[in-house]
């Protein structure tokens, strides 16, 4: 069995195209191996990636894996043949004899312009061959009880029951009847590494997914408070990362206790600035981890105006806690849009399970929505900032999910 993988954006990479193709092929291999799927080869050919399997017994599992690999625009389970019109006609019979349909069309893409026939001529000759075969099937049916009677007798160019796709490439021809959508984007890892601040909520996993789609490898950081039941919340975060791993292979996660930092902020600083101070500390800790990991940016699930810490004024003040770029892919999304995406990528049902959120603890009745940077820094002078950050990182628990 052959899986024929197509990409879109990678084709625009010019001189760097080979690097992106190699990374995509590498990720396909890793993803299949993680699921224990046996394959004979994964290779780059003529602007495609071909995966050869010894048989089709794991076809549905293979389909599920390939649908989630970033960089794949679409893929098909195909058959190949030599670049000869008679061979193409024979193979078309082989492909369609396994299908049931009443109308059909042939759609040819001639990548090799040196092939003797144009795409339209291939469509016409193969279509005529199929019609003759169908007529023969009907005429033999009364005498051949084993024959598979197909009732199709005409070509239909608009919305046919089945389309036979023919790709004439540099060395081979590929035939298939189904295009299965992938997630698109760029192969995981081609855009470097970033730290994703992940809570147990709906937004941050979706934010991670969008940056992973752009080829960013995410290292996750989760802040927690050691209150009763916190271990269950940590397992929920692990489940979210496992769900995202369907798109990004293995992931590393730092579990950082926020209890000591939070205690000092509550005891020593102005109440209405607590949430802003919480977030500044989180960004500062994440930045230190980024330096350790070689990450180039932070990712958050922030959405403008959603909560008090996410006003533009507060986001500006919080951002001053790090020199790294802060990537906020959900900044302009409505909540319903985020929820819809969470459902599609498989994180929503996990996110809505109850969990303990350290940011929601000790929140004042009237949090500041227009924090002043000078006042925030004044409050931070009451805290042993460097010592608290160093302790949090030293005691972090690191896991590979």
Cα–Cα distance for residue pair 330/208, rounded to 1 Å = 10
Per residue in 325-365, pLDDT tens? 999 999 999 999 999 999 999 999 999 998 666 555 556 77
Per residue in 135-149, pLDDT tens? 776 555 444 444 443
State the fold for domain 193-400. Rossmann fold (3.40.50)
Per residue in 228-245, pLDDT tens? 778 888 999 999 999 999
Bridge pairing between strands 173-176 and 162-168: antiparallel
Cα–Cα distance for residue pair 372/8, rounded to 1 Å = 46
Report residue 86 as tokens.
């008679």
Mean pLDDT score, 202-231: 93
Per residue in 254-304, pLDDT tens? 999 999 999 999 999 999 999 999 999 999 999 999 999 999 999 999 999
Cα–Cα distance for residue pair 170/172, rounded to 1 Å = 6
Per residue in 54-90, pLDDT tens? 999 999 999 999 999 999 999 999 999 999 999 999 9
- Count CB-CB contacts under 10 A for residue 317: 25
266 Cβ neighbours under 8 A, 6+ residues apart: 274, 362
Parse the chain into domains and list their residue ranges: 1-81, 83-178, 193-400
Report residue 380 as tokens.
């931070």
State the fold for domain 83-178. THUMP fold (3.30.2300)
Q: Which CATH number fits domain 1-81: 1.20.1250.20, 3.40.50.2000, 3.30.60.50, 3.30.70.1510?
A: 3.30.70.1510
Report residue 10 as tokens.
């990678």
Cα–Cα distance for residue pair 193/174, rounded to 1 Å = 37
Q: State pTM to two decimals.
A: 0.89
Longest pairwise C-alpha distance within the chain: 95
Dihedrals phi, psi of 143, to nearest 5 degrees: -105, -15
């Amino acid at each position: 069995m052959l899986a024929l993988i197509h990409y879109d954006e990678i084709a625009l990479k010019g001189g760097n195209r080979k690097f992106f193709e190699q990374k995509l092929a590498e990720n396909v291999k890793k993803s299949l191996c993680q699921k224990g799927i046996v394959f004979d080869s994964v290779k780059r050919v003529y602007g495609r990636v071909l995966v050869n399997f010894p048989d089709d017994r794991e076809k549905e599992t293979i389909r599920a894996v390939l649908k989630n690999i970033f960089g794949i625009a679409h893929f098909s389970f195909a058959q190949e043949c030599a670049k000869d019109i008679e061979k193409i006609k024979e193979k078309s019979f082989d492909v369609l004899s396994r299908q049931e349909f009443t109308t059909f069309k042939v759609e040819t893409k001639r990548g090799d312009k040196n092939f003797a026939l144009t795409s339209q001529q291939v469509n016409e000759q193969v279509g005529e061959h199929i019609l003759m075969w169908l007529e023969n099937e009907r005429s033999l049916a009364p005498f051949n009880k084993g024959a598979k009677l197909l009732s199709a007798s005409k070509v239909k160019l608009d919305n046919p029951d089945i389309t036979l796709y023919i790709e004439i490439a540099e060395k081979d021809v590929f035939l298939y009847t189904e295009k299965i959508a992938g997630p698109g984007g760029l192969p995981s890892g081609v855009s470097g590494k970033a730290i994703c601040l992940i809570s147990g909520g709906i937004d941050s996993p979706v934010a991670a997914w969008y940056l992973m789609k752009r080829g960013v490898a995410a290292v996750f950081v989760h802040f927690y408070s050691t209150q009763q039941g916190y271990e269950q919340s940590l397992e929920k975060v692990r489940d979210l990362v496992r769900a995202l791993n369907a798109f990004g292979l293995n992931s590393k996660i730092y579990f950082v206790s926020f209890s000591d930092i939070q205690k000092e902020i509550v005891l020593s600083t102005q109440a209405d600035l607590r949430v802003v101070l919480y977030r500044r500390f989180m960004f500062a800790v994440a930045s230190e981890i980024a330096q350790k990991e070689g990450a180039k940016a932070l990712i958050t699930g922030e959405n403008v105006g959603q909560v008090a810490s996410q006003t533009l004024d507060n986001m500006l003040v919080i951002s001053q806690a790090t020199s790294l770029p802060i990537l906020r892919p959900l900044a302009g999304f409505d909540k319903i849009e985020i929820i819809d995406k969470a459902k599609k990528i498989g994180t929503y049902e996990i996110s809505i399970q109850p969990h303990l959120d350290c940011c929601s603890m000790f929140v004042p009745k009237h949090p500041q929505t227009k924090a002043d940077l000078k006042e925030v820094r004044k409050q931070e002078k009451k805290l042993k900032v460097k010592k608290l950050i160093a302790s949090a990182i030293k005691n972090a628990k690191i896991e590979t999910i």
